[in-house]
Structure 1
């Protein structure tokens, strides 16, 4: 079999891996990008399309007893679980719960916010270079409320995030909400618009554009299987064996298949999620992504139609689909916005790679020279792809990094 030599091999062509490859290629490294599918066709394909400048506090595990009991009944629209996965994930969930204590969560946010504050600027810069700026919408996104208690709590969070991290928002009463989204349910009490966040009309098209830019810079994409990856930083592809002097693992929810084989025991788990596209009824129009806070689903206007995305499902990574959440929230979503017929033959399912401290793993592997990790971004993979790509490239080339990367290194585990 032919052997092709590169300076770096990047495993995984989701948003994170593609951005790592772009930034390395821009810095003069000869890069091979490897995936079993074309770029952007796993988790990066089916997200809500949000670039969340407001996301300074990563999504925490609930700590109040009422919410925990509700989730335990496994009937909540926003969180479901497979019973056979709970035992395996129990140590992860315990650490996740501990790290969600308000004091711990606030400390995590102080580090995490350093990534989030650059997310929109880094995406806009990369999209401009890739000729993909038209895919980004600088309109923000909206949370909508059905009860005053939830509305007041969310506004308090927004005010706190504004004080601490400069997160911009706009509180909308029922009238202002109807002005911005005339086709939403008129019974809603109001909304909260995060004005500095962007959204994406087609996440797969965005990742594809970034990948094409990588190739235009001289990088090469190969179809290959990361299970063949071995020390010496070698991996088999359809076009031959790739060997490189350095390697980056950016395989999202499958990253631990490589890291475990190399001797790392990292606490990586997955939150699965589903989506379905719908045609809007008649002349109905959705202008922003809209989150129904009480019911845990989001509607987003996409190139294909209105995308309905669900909350989290705790399950084994590769267990068969169980889109019960989608079935549960679809009737509710139809009362929020006039959805027409389904446009997909079946529900799409994706997997969010999560760590128990809610922060990604970004940096060098501690026991191997020239091996780097870039995964564990949970709900913010799309948001943080370009930031992560830049940081990995800066570290690998010895540049001063955009932010302090020490909080995200693997040594914390």
Structure 2
């Protein structure tokens, strides 16, 4: 029987594990914690069918100055740790040029097309429909000019990619979300995105499906991965485990492990924060406050605010700046209530400089595979890239051309 060790128990790792197990592989999923406790736990809880354009780095001087001087809440940075980010940020800036960004959009949109269909299969098989709402989310705007610009971009996406949306006037938005203040110019209601009331619980449900299919989940140290005469081994709480194949799905920690095998894969590591709030208003659907750089949505634990990107050191302490700004902005829109936790959660998004995942066979090590670098959309794309990886590993014709994602491009 063909065998694989999957290193990393987030949405990406669990998605790959399920797809391989469905193909009859003997699969062991290894992580230092239970599945879904890291980056997959802390996101905004959306399976984003409309996210056909990966986020480019701003290239106009005005936007860059706003970031540099701290006048935007989308991106914050720690000056003392900026040296860690210079090289991947320069690559990111280069790939964000219009023509190269178009190439990234083409590769990205092919994956996004599989996002909700692949989740749909797993949701049904994992009996997790109670966590899902298929009603979209609303992007709200505080300035009429910003709304008009966003509508033009949305119309272009509808023509090119078939995404569905509805424009809401200010009065229609107030009727849809009566708890919002009533002087906003309007919103875009993205209709095809699904929302999740507990992202960590959805990963757990998929992991339990994997176990029902006969897969094994163990706690272990991914950094102990070693090449052997017959494949790969890793040390776990259950002892050493061997398999013919190993798959690195460790998100932002993936390059650190691969470095010891001679691979140098750059990542822009973007930290994000969240906090839950209770005792205030109740949202109907998640809202993205486009001008203020945060999202908020109804979750099991209350309304969750999720921030933009912070560039800092991997071991840096939490900084409250972005969350405090997002919280203050949210309180301008709704009665948010009080914080439900003493400290914010934070985690790191693994973003490749060319904005598409690293997916495929390691070029110099037989049986070593990679699947990481999904940026802000690992939760959305985990089942889709898991399927593509499983097809490649199983010798099937891939459902889409995997060339844009190949690891050797770095």
Q: Same fold (TM over 0.5)?
A: yes
Whole-angstrom distance in 2 between the partners of 1:181 and 1:102: 36
Question: Corresponding residue for 2:266?
Answer: 267
- Equivalent residue runs for 1:3-402 within 5 Å: 7-232=3-228, 233-281=232-280, 284-402=281-399
CA contact (8 A) 1:6 1:243 kept: no
Structure 2: 5+ residue runs without aligned partners?
Answer: none
CA contact (8 A) 2:168 2:189 kept: yes
Q: Which moved more, 1:234-243 or 1:66-75?
A: 66-75
- Give runs of ≥4 in structure 1 deviating > 6 Å: none
SS at match of 1:225: strand
Cα displacement string for residues 74-120 of structure 1 (whole angstroms, at most 9, x for unaligned residues)? 34222100112222211211111121112221221111100001101
Deviation at residue 380 of structure 1 after TM alignment: 0.4
TM-score of the superposition, structure 1-length normalised?
0.97
SS at match of 2:85: helix
CA contact (8 A) 2:35 2:207 kept: yes
Whole-angstrom distance in 1 between the partners of 2:259 and 2:132: 37
Cα displacement string for residues 346-373 of structure 1 (whole angstroms, at most 9, x for unaligned residues)? 1000100010011011111111111100
CA contact (8 A) 2:3 2:26 kept: yes
Whole-angstrom distance in 2 between the partners of 1:84 and 1:259: 26
Whole-angstrom distance in 2 between the partners of 1:93 and 1:298: 24
CA contact (8 A) 1:9 1:248 kept: yes
TM-score of the superposition, structure 2-length normalised?
0.97
Deviation at residue 280 of structure 1 after TM alignment: 4.2
Deviation at residue 240 of structure 1 after TM alignment: 0.8
RMSD: 1.2
Whole-angstrom distance in 2 between the partners of 1:49 and 1:318: 25
CA contact (8 A) 1:30 1:219 kept: yes
Whole-angstrom distance in 2 between the partners of 1:124 and 1:85: 40
SS at match of 1:123: helix
Total equivalences in the alignment? 407
